[in-house]
């Protein structure tokens, strides 16, 4: 059924099953022509919907409904949907209310999906994007090419989110929360490094499909991809950091295969069909693509450099660099790695991970490894090199030695003035 945003535009569900229903989870996805909102249910439901104005919004009341999740407001902000709110329907006893606040008046569809292999019963709201209301455009980053060196953009991906909680320990500590905390800290650390910037695939407790995470990296033209997770194992003594780069064939050992399956199941938890399988045509093409082979090698070096930096930190044991067929890393034509920071099933690791001082030291080590990799691998690939400033050298002398003008040297290194310090690393053209 389709509605126009106007007072008292009301629709009714086709069936009215008896009994209470639990609202299990909610999520949204922004597409080019619509925004889809999905509410997972414990069973079939009876519902009513209406479109209101001043301000424009869609109201859906689900009969005899109970919230099985914390009904916090979900911020959307995609130019069409402002936010999604949840709560009891005061004037309809026993009903649970979902309110979709709109940025502009819009047409919409509301329909129910029966339980299937792809997910539970669901209530779906498709808000149609009006003509002239464009989806948010991704920010275009500075291009890095043979003639110029701009900021390296690192895409930091906090694992899981929303109704996909990831791992959870006995105390209720959830992987999705820790991953977001560490990812935000890593972004802040990278942003402090001259010549580097970071962006997040999610900056809130929302569900983001695995394929969408890759799309975000591609849209922002990221140069590296780092996915942050936390591990768990049946053996309580298992602990330490594990770093993975992509394997086109999948994992070789049982423990890694189990971890691979757990991380790749995120889309299934979020109600989406699994699409990243080694038998897919896209992956088959990727295997024979020389660009991907090159990215696997560069991803391995990235993982090794970060692993070395964390090992030098000394406060968290490392479990060597490994390969696995993580879906979030596949089909990325940029160096990528997945970091399992610590084991939520190990009390020592959990105590360590909860320390802000340990977190800050850990992400600093990660940033050190990322910077080292870029300086040793990516900068030379672009026809540049790194110059280490010696005592007594001036910026003008360095520019002259490499046949560069001062403005180009400043721009390549994000410098506002001419001050340099001994030991500072500068990007310069090869003489």
- What SS3 state is found at 96? strand
Q: Do residue 353 and residue 405 come from a single domain?
A: no
pLDDT at position 123 over 90: yes
Residue predicted with more confidence, 416 or 248: 416
pTM: 0.62
Q: Say if CB 321 and CB 307 are below 8 A apart.
A: yes
113 within a domain of the structure (yes/no): yes
Per-residue DSSP letters for 285-342?
Answer: HHHT-HHHHHHHHHHHHHHHHHHHHHHHH-SS-EEEEEEE--GGGTT--S-EEEEEEE
- 221 and 367 housed in the same domain: yes
Is residue 381 within a helix (H) or strand (E), and if so which, with residue range?
helix 379-381
pLDDT per position as a tens digit, 385-399: 999 999 999 999 999
Cα–Cα distance, 125 to 86 (Å, whole number): 14
Domain count across the chain = 3
**Integer Cα distance of 300 and 305 in angstroms:** 9
Relative orientation angle of helices 290-313 and 356-373, to the nearest 10 degrees: 140
Note down the domain range covering 241. Answer: 152-380
| Same domain flag for 185 and 103 | no
Residues 171 and 305 reside in one and the same domain:
yes
Identify whether 143 is part of a domain: no
CATH number of the domain where residue 366 is located: 3.40.630.40
223 with 353, same domain: the answer is: yes
Q: How many CB atoms lie within 10 A of CB 142?
A: 13
- In the block, tokens 């902000």 appear at 77
**370 in the same domain as 250:** yes
217: pLDDT strictly greater than 50: yes
Whether the ω angle into residue 415 lies within 30 degrees of 0, i.e. cis, is no
Q: Tokens 């390296």 map to which residue?
A: 152
Do the domain assignments include residue 147? no
Main-chain dihedrals φ then ψ at residue 111, nearest 5 degrees: -155, 160
Report how far residue 36's alpha carbon sits from residue 108's, in angstroms, rounded to the nearest whole number. 10
Q: What is the pLDDT of residues 229-263, one digit of tens each?
A: 999 999 999 999 999 887 755 444 444 444 445 45
Cα 58 versus chain centre, distance = 28
Say what percent of the chain tops pLDDT 70: 79
Residue 290 in this model has a pLDDT that exceeds 50: no
Q: What is the pLDDT of residues 27-62, one digit of tens each?
A: 888 888 899 999 989 999 999 999 999 899 999 999
Q: List Cβ neighbours of 429 (8 Å cut-off, separation of 6 or more).
A: 383, 384, 385, 402, 403, 404
Q: Which residues, listed in sequence order, are joined to residue 51 by a DSSP beta bridge?
A: 9, 58
């Amino acid at each position: 059924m389709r509605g126009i945003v106007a007072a008292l535009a009301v629709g009714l569900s086709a069936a009215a099953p008896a009994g209470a229903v639990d609202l299990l989870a909610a999520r949204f996805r922004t597409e080019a022509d619509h925004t889809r909102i999905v509410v997972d249910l414990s069973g079939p439901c009876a519902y009513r919907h209406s479109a209101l104005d001043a301000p424009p919004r869609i109201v859906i009341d689900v009969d005899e409904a109970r919230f099985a999740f914390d009904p916090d407001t979900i911020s959307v902000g995609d130019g069409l949907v402002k936010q999604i709110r949840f709560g009891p329907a005061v004037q309809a006893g026993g009903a649970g209310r979902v309110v979709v606040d709109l940025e502009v008046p819009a047409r919409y569809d509301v329909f129910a999906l029966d339980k299937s292999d792809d997910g539970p019963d669901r209530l779906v709201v498709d808000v149609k994007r009006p003509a002239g209301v464009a989806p948010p455009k991704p920010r275009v980053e500075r291009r890095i090419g043979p003639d110029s060196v701009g900021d390296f953009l690192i895409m930091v991906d906090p694992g899981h989110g929303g109704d996909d909680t990831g791992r959870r320990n006995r105390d209720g500590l959830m992987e999705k929360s820790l991953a977001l905390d560490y990812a935000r800290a890593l972004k802040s650390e990278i942003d402090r490094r001259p010549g580097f910037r970071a962006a997040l695939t999610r900056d809130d407790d929302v569900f983001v499909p695995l394929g969408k995470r890759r799309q975000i990296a591609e849209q922002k033209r990221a140069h590296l991809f780092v996915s942050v997770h936390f591990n768990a194992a049946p053996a309580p003594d298992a602990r330490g950091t594990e770093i993975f780069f992509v394997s086109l064939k999948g994992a070789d050992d049982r423990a890694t295969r189990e971890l691979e399956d757990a991380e790749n199941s995120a889309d299934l938890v979020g109600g989406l069909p699994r699409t990243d399988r080694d038998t897919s045509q896209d992956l088959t093409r990727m295997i024979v693509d020389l660009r991907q082979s090159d990215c696997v090698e560069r991803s391995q070096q990235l993982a090794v450099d970060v692993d070395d930096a964390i090992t030098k930190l000394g406060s968290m044991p490392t479990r060597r660099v490994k390969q696995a067929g993580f879906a979030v890393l596949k089909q990325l034509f940029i160096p990528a790695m997945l970091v399992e920071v610590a084991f939520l099933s190990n009390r020592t690791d959990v105590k360590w991970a909860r320390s802000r001082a340990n977190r800050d030291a850990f992400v600093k080590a990660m940033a050190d490894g990322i910077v080292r990799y870029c300086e040793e691998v990516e900068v030379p690939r672009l026809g540049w090199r790194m110059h280490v400033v010696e005592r007594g050298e001036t910026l003008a002398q360095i520019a002259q030695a490499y046949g560069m003008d001062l403005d180009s040297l400043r721009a390549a290194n994000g410098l506002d003035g001419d001050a340099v310090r001994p030991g500072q690393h500068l990007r310069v053209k090869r003489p």
